[in-house]
A and B are shown apart, each in its own frame.
Chain A
Amino acid sequence: MEGPTYWKIGDQISLRDAFGRALTSLGSIRDDFVLFDADVAGGTGAKPFVQAFPEKVVQFGIAEQNMMAAAGGFADTGIIPVVTTFAAFGTMRAHEQFRTAIAYPGRNVKLCCSHIGVDVGPDGPTAQMLEDLATIRAVPGVTVVVPADANQMLQALPAILDHPGPVYMRIGRSPAPVITPADSSFNIGKASRLRGGNDVTLIATGVMVARALAAAENLASDGIEARVINLSTIKPLDKEELLQAAIETGALVTAEDHSVLGGMGSAVAEFLAETHPVPISFVGVRDRFGKSGEPEELARLFGLTAEDIQKAAKSVIVRKKA
């Protein structure tokens, strides 16, 4: 069986579309997983899989708490439930079911949620999820994966299926530029360094990775060499890569389409505070709810653009220890 077709660098592809492609291609070569859906297969991108493999889908209706706890029980029988819904409903509404029926017994469930960050756009605050990394990251023993582009998604899905235990994967909704080549590998727990530089490190996740790369380009024209790291696993952290960045560049910017409270930036800061403290600037949503608007407009309003990352980089460099 052939693998999925990758996209070209520079294509604009929604990660949920990539999720659908990844699911469908795996559906014909693996028999170890089923899809759990709560009436949102169109929204999460899983629809092509539902159409191709209706027998591999369990439909729960709009009842996420039931779906989540049922997934815990189902996993107990040796088949992997890939639980899909919007992040608000998967990581918050059914949070305790995830914690107690899945994470606590260490069950092999993959929670794959779309509708994250302000990238969701016009549906507004109830659908935008800015706290999922914070809530899920706090649960012991959970692996948290955030692919940055469509090509990474194609590799992330088989990787999380092969990774034992509970995994949360965050799936973007609006089109995002493809930045990783088809042949790059995806390893859970490993960050990838996309650009070298010793003046500052930009650590980004999800849609923010492409923006961090753009920011680094612009910084270079101002004579600042920024290292760019795609942190596609938020938990466990790639400690080696982070430590090296802190030691070698002495200043960091974290960038995420998530609240600055408890998200990826917090994870990085928690680790470095105990190992090698350096000044950090956090790019993310500042303790507020989202609102309706187009994704790019929201990125501007909430300070999530490449320019915001540039500004943060310049300000954090000033705070570097002499």
Chain B
Amino acid sequence: MNDLRELARKIRVLAIEAIYCARSGHPGGSLSAADILGVLYFEELRVDPTQPRWIDRDRFILSKGHACPALYAALALKGFFPAEDVRSLRKIDHYLEGHPDVKIPGVDAPSGSLGMGLSQGLGMALGARYGKRSFRTYVLLGDGDMQEGNTWEAFMAAGHHKVASLTAILDYNGLQGEDLVTKQMNYNPIAEKLTAFGWNVQEVDGHNIDQLRAALAAARSECDRPSFILARTVKGKGVEFMENQQVWHGSSTLTNEQYQQSLKGLEA
């Protein structure tokens, strides 16, 4: 438990470092997803950094691809590539693209255009069933994904096909690109809708490791329903001046002072 907290903290530090060095990137949604990524990579996912393409690995898709600084941080800490590499995020002569790319060890799907992650995950889960493989598939969605019609087609299909090996986690931080979700395009209440679509829906505090762990365990024991975990989070979590602040959504250039302040906040 303490370990996982520390790992999530390290994910945050590395993600901020990456965004600072790149002089652009999306800090708010990277920080909100850090605990979820920590629990997934260090407890839940059956993956092997020495064989990133192992056919029976669990699959993970970051559908909200703009949060890739946190994903790259988790992959680096897991051992897929050296932690120093995240300093080269978005650089022309480097492989860590500004949004996820399958050339990157450990990345299972391209994303960055919202709304395509769940369908790709659905395909992987259906492939596992068809090929009699036992791996599980996890998709991390953002509010933006929830507004795309493509995602709803995937919700419908996964419920219809009873794809129990598929788990979708929503990083619900309530803020999207320009404003509050409730102002831009409210898709709530979500539990009722997805239950009606044939999903098992759970709600957790997305920064509470025990709750995340329990929800993932419950998802694993489902036999005929895909699982949806609504994780309530705080955009910018862990860096006080970024928390719940719209301006820290995207393409942010951190000043050296802001960078130092972020690191200090994350030390505590």
Chain A residues in the interface with B (C-beta under 8 A) = 39-43, 47, 59-66, 88-89, 93, 121-127, 291-294, 297-298, 301
Contacts and interface: CB of A to CB of B under 8 A. Distances in A.
A237 to B, nearest CB: 31
Contact of B113 (A41, A122, A126, A293): A126
Interface stretch (B42-50, B92-100, B214-222): B92-100
Given A62-B115, A63-B185, A93-B113, A124 B178 contact: no
A62 B98 contact: no
B92 A294 contact: yes
A294 B176 CA distance: 25
Contacts of A294: 92
B91 A124 contact: no
B148 interface: yes
Contact of A39 (B112, B144, B150): B144
27 contacts: A39-B147, A39-B176, A39-B177, A39-B185, A40-B177, A40-B178, A43-B177, A61-B176, A62-B114, A62-B144, A62-B145, A62-B147, A62-B177, A62-B184, A89-B113, A93-B115, A122-B22, A123-B112, A123-B251, A124-B98, A125-B112, A126-B65, A126-B99, A126-B112, A126-B113, A127-B99, A301-B92
Contact of B92 (A123, A125, A297): A297
Contact of A291 (B25, B89, B97, B150): B97
B110 interface: yes
A123 B101 CA distance: 12
A61 B185 contact: yes
A64 B113 CA distance: 11
B185 A59 contact: yes
7 smallest CB-CB distances across A and B, nearest first, come from A61-B185, A293-B92, A126-B112, A124-B98, A122-B90, A62-B144, A61-B147
A122 B110 CA distance: 16
Nearest to A128: B98
A124 B113 contact: no
A293 B99 contact: no
Interface in B81-131: 89-92, 94, 96-99, 101, 110-115
B149 A123 contact: no
A42 B177 contact: yes
A39 B113 contact: no
B208 interface: no
A221 to B, nearest CB: 30
Interface string B178-203: 11000111010000000000000000
Contacts of A89: 113
Given A122-B22, A122-B24, A123-B99, 16 more contacts: A39-B185, A42-B178, A43-B250, A62-B144, A63-B147, A65-B148, A65-B150, A121-B24, A123-B24, A125-B99, A126-B110, A126-B111, A127-B98, A292-B97, A292-B98, A298-B92
A88 B92 CA distance: 21
Q: How large is the interface on B (under 10, 10 to 19, 20 to 34, 35 or more residues)?
A: 35 or more
Contacts of B101: 124-125
Contacts of A293: 90-92
Task: Identify whether the interface residues of A are mostly helix, strand, loop, or mixed.
Answer: loop
B66 to A, nearest CB: 8
A122 B98 contact: yes
Contacts of A42: 177-178, 250
Contacts of A60: 185
Q: From A40, A127, A291, A294, name the one whose CB has the most chain B CB atoms within 10 angstroms.
A: A291
Contacts of B110: 126
Contacts of B183: 59
B112 A65 contact: no
A307 B101 CA distance: 31
A88 B113 CA distance: 8
A60 B185 CA distance: 7
Given A124-B99, A125-B101, A126-B111, A62 B251 contact: no
Contact of B149 (A43, A66, A122, A124): A66
A88 B68 CA distance: 19
B92 A62 contact: no
B193 to A, nearest CB: 15
A90 to B, nearest CB: 12
Contacts of B149: 63, 65-66
A123 B98 contact: yes
Nearest to A66: B149
Nearest to B246: A42
A89 B147 CA distance: 14
Contacts of A39: 144, 147, 176-179, 184-185
A144 to B, nearest CB: 22
Q: From A39, A64, A93, A293, name the one whose CB has the most chain B CB atoms within 10 angstroms.
A: A39
Contacts of B250: 42-43
Contacts of B143: 62
A303 to B, nearest CB: 14
Contacts of A62: 114-115, 143-145, 147-148, 176-177, 184-185
Contacts of B114: 62
Q: From A60, A66, A124, A293, name the one whose CB has the most chain B CB atoms within 10 angstroms.
A: A124
A293 B92 CA distance: 4
Q: From B22, B23, B25, B92, name the one whose CB has the most chain A CB atoms within 10 angstroms.
A: B92
Nearest to B177: A39
A41 B92 contact: no
